[in-house]
Every structure is written in structure tokens, then in C-alpha cells.
Amino acid sequence: MTDNNSTHFGFETINAQEKAGRVKAVFDSVATRYDLMNDLMSFGIHRIWKRFAVELAGIRRGQRILDLASGTGDLAARFAGLVGPEGLVVMTDINAAMLNQGRIRMADEGLVGNLAYTQVNAEQIPFPDNSFDCITIAFGLRNVTDKQQALNEMQRVLKPGGRVLVLEFSHPQGKPLKTVYDLYSFKLLPKIGKVVANDEESYRYLAESIRMHPDQETLKGMMEQAGLERCDYHNLTGGIVAVHRGFKL
């Protein structure tokens, strides 16, 4: 249990003010191998999870989309095609190294006209109220120090009628799957990180941060507390990942 001045960094309890810097160091370390590691550690299934989230987002031409914790831009690239030249996708990350990798990738793919880039802390979103038709955060909320504050901010900058989507690792349903998943996460995943990214510790943090993230029902309740309505979630791959969705009515 933590007080208002402390938080979790994986299984470690630290001063809340330290977390952003610790998370930054993790993603500085893995930025250049991030996409490769995603493919390896999920056996490519992360692409299916993201495709499902994009479908749930219901993006239409001309809309304004805020993608928080964009990383290298898997969701943002899809959104850019959906909103068309009259729309806008704002691609953000708290980590400059990750955001730069995303910018390079978007340029390489020729996606330049309707994309903007901003370094953003999800707890302090620098946009006015009611600015975006859809807000997404994929595999980033668990790294945020104050998750409730981030959800509050998403609700604030979302337009009435818009939706928030949170794609995140969650809690597997059923003991057999949980047993296998724990074995993979704590034994195999750090070793893959060591071989491919030369960084065992960052991927040990990844496994620990997933376990400390709120379960499906708790996160749904946090979204409702933020003022989002009609909140629901969809378990993917047995609950290893979940997509949470909420609306601003």
C-alpha cells in the first residue's frame, strides 16, 4: 500500500516524484528496439490487439484524435489514414526518445500532413476542455504515476459525444493461464530483453508493472470516477490484455 507521496515502480515502492524519471530511463533504454521487442514478446499478437482497439475507436473522417503514450505510433498511423487530410492526429509521449522514434517512423511511411507531435505528461494534458473526438492510450497507463488524474484529464479534453480507449495489459482470467503467464513474464521475458535489447532490468520492470496495474473492474470504476459513462471492457487473449472504453455524454 502507498500513501499520497509514494507509488509503485514495478514491485518497488518509491517516492511519487521519482517515477516519471525512472520510467523515462526504461524507455530511453529500449526505444530503438521497442518495435522488435513488441513482436517478439507478444509473438506478434500485439498487432491484433491494436487492430481491435482501432475498430472500437470508431474513428471518422475529419475528427481530432489524441493518442497518449504513442510510442512508435502503431495506433497513430492507423488513425491518420482514418481521419483523412481534413482531420488531425496528435501523437504524444512523455518520453522524447520514444516520440522521436515515432516521428521518424511516420516520416518513413509518408504520414506527414495530418499528424502533430507533442511531448505530453498524461497527468497534465496541455489542451483546452472539449478538444478531441477520441483519446487513446495503448500500453501506457500502467506507467503513469497518478492514473486517476490522467483519466480525469482525458475526460476533460474529450468532446461531448467522444470516447476514451485504454488498451493495456490486464489480469488473466483463470488459474492455468495465470500460471503459464507468470512463468513466461518473470523467467523468459527478461531473458529475451537481455539478448535482444541488452536490457534485462527494463523488461523485468515491464512484468512487474503489469502485475501492479488495476484489474479490469477496478480500472472500469476509475474511468467512471473520472466522469466517463457507459464504460465497458473487452478481454483479449484470456484477459492478458483488455480494452476499456468510456464515453463523454
Which residues sit in the known binding site?
72, 93, 121-122
Asked if residues 236 and 242 have their Cβ atoms less than 8 Å apart, the reply is yes
Helix (H, G, I), strand (E, B) or coil at 62: coil
| Helix 16-30 and helix 96-108, axial crossing angle in degrees, nearest 10 | 40
C-alpha R_g of the chain = 17
How far is CA 61 from each of CA 106, 147, 168, 184, rounded to the nearest angstrom?
19, 30, 26, 41
- Annotated binding-site positions for S-adenosyl-L-methionine: 72, 93, 121-122
Helix (H, G, I), strand (E, B) or coil at 55: helix
Q: Angle CA(92)–CA(139)–CA(210) in degrees, nearest 5?
A: 140
C-alpha cell at 132: 478531441
What's the full length of the chain, in residues? 249
Q: Is the dihedral of CA 57, 62, 67, 71 positive or negative?
A: positive
Distance CA 162, CA 182 (A): 36
Amino acid identity at 97? A
Burial of 16 by CB count in 10 Å (0-12 exposed, 13-18 middle, 19+ buried)? Answer: middle
Distance CA 32, CA 228 (A): 35
